[in-house]
Structure 1
Amino acid sequence: MSNRILGLGAEFPAFEKTAVVSREKGQEFQTISNDIHTADGKWMVMFWWPKDFTFVCPTEIAEFNKNAGEFADRDTVLVGASTDSEFVHLAWRNNHEDLRDLKFPMLADTSKSLAEELGILEATEKIAYRATFIIDPQGIVRWVSAYDLSVGRNVEEVLRVLDALQTDELCPCNWEKGEETLNLN
């Protein structure tokens, strides 16, 4: 069975899921939905990892967290997600030094329905591939990247692509924020 990853120009599926948003007693969980970004006209970056309590995943989550301010500066809501439960997410945050002070929600797709709609559900173990989606304020997918389970992604590249998309102009190969875009006049 082959996956069909939700592609560019598609509307990001509506979702309403429980997420870990804090380690503070009584404040740990919150229900989040597409409104997390569309209500305020913000962009959203949703990145997925296969499993909690693994080895590559916390390196990526910690790197996204280090760059949380960069995403916020770009009017972008950052959401991390996997098919693990909110209770496993919370236990992992409490257990792993690099995950204790996350500045973004850890979405729990325990039904695997969102991962399945996105086309990123691995067929054998029914876990999510390492996938990243950039969604514009209108809820349209503007960028997708997916990696094999064993390879971590590059957060700087996610920021670079987000910057390029937000220019709404033509950006050449290896373009970086602050550089000239292409002018066809």
Structure 2
Amino acid sequence: MLTVGDKFPSFDLTSVPGGPEGLTGKFVQISDSTDAGKWKVVFFWPKDFTFVCPTEIVAFGKLAKDFADRDAVVYGVSIDSEFVHLNWRLHHEDLKKLEIPMLADIKRELSESLGVIAAGPGVALRATFIVDPQGIIRHVSVNDLSVGRNPQEVLRVLDGLQSDELCPCNWKQGDDFLKV
């Protein structure tokens, strides 16, 4: 698995855009050069039409503005096609209001290059990557398939990374930094 300090791989994936445009059936290509110069939060979920996944996706979507305020974009990725993503958005009440794009890694190229495919089921693990504007991975977390992650914690880690300071345990934006 790629980790902190590694270059995030190149990718070019079809997506269902966030916002109302995502309900129109118009797909958009998103690549590693999309949103150049911004921080990127790229999170993976195993499959559409499951139970834990929409809770995470909706939670990330609700924080889209908070991430944008920090000059960061959020990309959600699974191995499902853009057509499956669209169908899920159209038929899941909470996903209809989703503000982030859903990227289709149907060939598993990005998932495999990052090393986040679960060996048994062959789906993406619940992996989250924070990537700096130079394309370097600055944070990685991976959860078992059965346990959802905390997007508020991802936002907190992004704040710490962007501070370029020493941040103690449970630090949050506005708290004091460690002084050496």
User: Do both share a fold (TM > 0.5)?
Assistant: yes
How many residues matched? 177
- Other-structure match for 2:163: 167
**What percent of counterpart residues are identical?**
59
- Which of 78, 82, 101 is residue 82 of structure 1 equivalent to? 78
One-letter amino acid of the counterpart of residue 97, structure 2: D
Structure 1 stretches lacking a partner, 5+ long? none
The alpha carbon displacement at 1:124 in A equals 2.2
One-letter amino acid of the counterpart of residue 111, structure 1: K
- Other-structure match for 2:142: 146
User: How many Å separate the matches in 2 of 1:55 and 1:145?
Assistant: 20
User: How many Å separate the matches in 1 of 2:120 and 2:169?
Assistant: 36
- Other-structure match for 1:11: 7
Structure 2 stretches lacking a partner, 5+ long? none
Contact 2:38 2:132 in 1 (8 A): yes
**TM-score, with length taken from structure 1:** 0.93
Secondary structure at the counterpart of residue 173 of structure 1: coil
- Other-structure match for 1:106: 102
| 1:120-173, Cα deviation, whole Å (9 max, x unpaired) | 001122110000000000000000000000000011110110000000111111
Secondary structure at the counterpart of residue 156 of structure 1: helix
User: How many Å separate the matches in 2 of 1:45 and 1:108?
Assistant: 16
User: How many Å separate the matches in 2 of 1:122 and 1:51?
Assistant: 12
What is the 5 A alignment of 1:7-156? Answer: 7-21=3-17, 22-25=21-24, 28-37=26-35, 39=36, 41-156=37-152
**TM-score, with length taken from structure 2:** 0.95
Contact 2:23 2:96 in 1 (8 A): no
User: How many Å separate the matches in 2 of 1:24 and 1:158?
Assistant: 27
User: How many Å separate the matches in 1 of 2:15 and 2:24?
Assistant: 15
